[in-house]
Amino acid sequence: MNKFFLYLKTEEFRKNLIIAVTSILAFLLAIFFILRVYTRHGESLPVPSLKGMTVEKAVALLESQG
């Protein structure tokens, strides 16, 4: 057990820990910004009410609105 704590104090361990934490933070930050662009966060589209329409009318309405 003592060897374990001695290893935690080594320069090699600190270097690897810093690299791991930095990599994880960079990955999470990249995902945060990529998801904002990919999901178009904050933008919306109006959706027409299709209640009571037949399937044909609903499809025609949706196709006409793009």
pLDDT in tens, 7-30: 999 999 999 999 999 999 999 999
Q: Spell out the domain ranges in the chain.
A: 2-64
pLDDT in tens, 25-52: 999 999 999 998 899 888 888 888 999 9
Residue 53 — φ and ψ, nearest 5°?
A: -90, 155
What's the rounded Cα separation, in Å, for the pair 35 and 49?
29
Per-residue pLDDT at 18: 98
Radius of gyration of the chain (CA): 27
- CB-side exposure of 58: number of CA atoms within 13 Å? 8
